[in-house]
Amino acid sequence: MRIATFDCFSGISGDMCLGALVSAGWPASELEALPARLRLDGVRIEARAARRGPFAATQVEVRFPQQQPHRHLHHVTALIDAADLAPDVREKSRAVFRRLAEAEAEVHGSTVEKVHFHEVGAVDALVDVVGTVEGLRALGVQAVYGTPLPLGGGFVDSQHGRIPVPAPATALLLRGAPVRSSAIEAELVTPTGAALLTTLAAGWDAPPPYRLERVGTGAGSRELQAQPNVLRVLIGETGARISRRAVAVLETAVDDENPQVLADLAAKLLGEGALDVMVTPTVMKKGRAGLWMVALTEPADAERLAGRILAGSSSLGVRIRVDERIELPRRLEEIDTPFGRVTLKIAELIEGGERAMPEFESVRSAAEKSGRPIREVTEAAIAAWRSRSRG
């Protein structure tokens, strides 16, 4: 399994991620072609050599017309969905922007649907987010790790006036992540950088031992007197075919709730970032029948989603614990079937080989369009994948 560690000793931003990945071997031509794939007219990307202290690095700059529309989450999601991207790149990019939207909405006392991305630039944020996810995929990275993030200090100017560092959205995005104080008065971690790493990172502890193959160095846009303003990415191969990471487990049991309410709540939790949600019948005190809800989330999302459970059910309390989860490497692929294109989740097995499972929503969409049963479309997708794997 190939892993990447982002060494954030001087912080992280979207353009630093892009520079580090290009420096690590992702062809600059592929990055420069990204605006056309996203249908961003008039947007150009320049990747050039730079020096920060003793480091030779790559600096990436996104150039775009200054007059840009205020894009909301549904606008950004539509651009990502319409772009020529692999399914896993689309999925991860949407997840990053969802986290950004949730943080901005909380800062401004708004909703995810109403908040717009003026503070993170929309255009350059789109390139930064999709480009980082695409670059990691192009380099074959299957798991990402991060190091503790320096908060920086001082103030920065925004459309709402002068604000303290870390910026309000950045501070919210870093909940659950390891951070450290810094005497440097500068914005070392941007909202886009925070959203990328907290969404993509499989863990913050030391990764499993790996054979280091590539080192990339991305330059920040400014010179810092105290230290080199660079982000390093270290990429290598580990013999482990599984990864271990922390997940938060949320649990609650109720004996006075309509099951339909919890079914609706489960769907909403999944839509807001939960990794999995289960509702099972149980027997509670005095022999009363009840329902037990369990949600798996990223640790950084635990308190937020616990609040959703308390607000959306009759629960009076939610238990939270952090467990370790062992995961198989996985990726999303699209396969053509007689009934249309279907997305499959491909898992790499410990003993070797792969296992494919069609994504249900993709199967249901193809079944509805073709008028065929779901089981028939599922079997056709697996058969097409097996045929392609053998060929």
Domain boundary assignment for the chain: 2-237, 244-327, 330-390
CA atoms lying within 13 Å on the CB side of residue 47: 27
Task: Measure the CA–CA gap between 273 and 320, rounded to whole angstroms.
Answer: 16
Task: Measure the CA–CA gap between 355 and 7, rounded to whole angstroms.
Answer: 33
286 CB burial (10 A radius; 0-12, 13-18, 19+): exposed
CATH H-level, domain 244-327: superfamily: Transcriptional regulatory protein pf0864 domain like (3.30.70.1380)
Name the nearest CA neighbour of 98 among 228, 218, 243, 274: 274
- Specify the residue for token string 């979207």: 14
| pLDDT score of 119 | 44
Task: Measure the CA–CA gap between 140 and 358, rounded to whole angstroms.
Answer: 22
Topology annotation, domain 330-390 = Ubiquitin-like (UB roll) (3.10.20)
Burial 191-227 (b: 16+ CB within 10 A, else e): bbbbbbbbbbbbbbeebbebeeebebbbbbeeebeee
| pLDDT score of 208 | 83
| pLDDT score of 37 | 95
| pLDDT score of 240 | 67
| pLDDT score of 99 | 92
User: Residues of the chain whose pLDDT is less than 70?
Assistant: 118-121, 160, 240, 391
| pLDDT score of 118 | 59
| pLDDT score of 375 | 96
| pLDDT score of 206 | 79
